[in-house]
Chain A
């Protein structure tokens, strides 16, 4: 029996109290499968949010995307990078700015985002090698642990106990969540993803990033699972308590990469990380 025995239904009832994404981002997310979206109208709406626009353009102009001209408007970004990539950049810019910081003792918001961004970058690098959609991989990597922010925001004090237990017993935060709270960040993240209307593919990846062996988990869950382990192993956050979580041999083999290829993935992830992190964490 967990200390707090929270139930996922309690969480769902309070989800409305959580920060919401800007309306235009919600609109972008729900328009994923629509073909008749008027891009210029959406671009104009995003442009009204100056902070969001600035962050999105900073990201679009990072050398990872290899643009030869600096884009100065959302419309230009769409022209050069395409609608899907730009939409993902806007989403990334929006989610990294929408949660309040410093709510929970022991929870380092900057470190959280550094880990998420590193996982996003690594997932994108892996996706390119697997010829999988790189935008999906980036977004899924960025959001895989978003449930942690849900728990931290809703239950700051119990979550502080969770962190303390994980440090004291030197166990995975996931196990500490189950022991102390009774619910974990996977379930919480899934509920938020539903609320925020993320696509099924992204939801599957969030849902199975710790158990990619589940039948039907999908390639994206494999990619995020492996990227997460790599980022821990490369110690990219620089946390003294860093520890590599279990790595599924099934997901690892599913990448089909040689040692040489993995070493290239490590290097590309490290080279691209700093600039993307600088664009997203300000």
Chain B
């Protein structure tokens, strides 16, 4: 129960899940390294390599007992990290995007593919 990872049937694997171990094919060749984030494309290709179950990190694979995220703290921390840049300027448009993406990542928001 407290194991940081578990094996899931391919049918239960969703994009965004993270491999908790390297993934080998039938010949023992490495398909994906540990820590790889699974995408819909990768998942679709796995049956071709004979993969029907794979090890994924538990925290991301299940919604059970999620650690509550302190949105205010995350926002304040990001504001502090980007304090030297005036994000209203066009020259900092990429920095603004980066800040938004990191916020979405930290807050585990749904991202439109």
Contacts and interface: CB of A to CB of B under 8 A. Distances in A.
Contact of A63 (B22, B83, B84, B97): B22
Interface string B16-50: 10100110100010101111110100000000000
Contact of B101 (A235, A262, A268): A262
Interface string A234-245: 110000001111
Contact of A259 (B32, B78, B92, B101): B101
B11 interface: no
Contacts of B97: 252, 259
Given A230-B98, A232-B81, A233-B81, A68 B28 contact: yes
Interface centre among A232, A248, A251, A259 (most CB of B within 10 A): A259
B113 interface: yes
Interface residues of A, number: 37
A246 interface: yes
Given A233-B99, A263-B105, A243 B92 contact: no
Interface residues of B, number: 37
Given A65-B33, A249-B93, A259 B104 contact: yes
The CB with the most chain A CB atoms within 10 A, among B85, B102, B112, is that of: B102
A253 B32 CA distance: 27
A266 B105 contact: yes
Interface in A157-186: 170-172
B39 A264 contact: yes
Contacts of A246: 85, 91-92, 95
B83 A266 contact: no
B76 interface: no
Given A66-B22, A262-B101, A268-B36, A249 B94 contact: yes
A210 B20 CA distance: 35
A63 B36 CA distance: 11
Given A68-B24, A260-B113, A271-B18, A252 B98 contact: yes
Contacts of B113: 258, 260
Given A233-B81, A243-B83, A248-B94, A66 B30 contact: yes
A235 B24 contact: no
Contact of B95 (A65, A229, A260): A229
Nearest to A266: B105
Q: Secondary structure of the B side of the interface? A: mixed
A63 B98 contact: no
A10 to B, nearest CB: 30
Contacts of B35: 63-64, 267-268, 271-272
B81 A244 contact: yes
B13 to A, nearest CB: 15
A243 B78 CA distance: 9
Contacts of A63: 21-22, 33-35
B18 A64 contact: no
B105 A247 contact: no
Interface in A205-231: 229-230
Contacts of B18: 267, 271
Nearest to B32: A66
Contacts of B34: 63-64, 66, 271-272
22 contacts: A66-B22, A68-B22, A170-B84, A229-B95, A232-B81, A233-B78, A243-B83, A244-B84, A244-B98, A245-B84, A247-B94, A247-B98, A249-B91, A259-B100, A259-B101, A259-B111, A260-B111, A260-B112, A263-B104, A267-B37, A268-B36, A268-B37
- Closest CB pairs A-B (n = 6): A271-B35, A252-B94, A63-B34, A66-B30, A264-B37, A249-B94
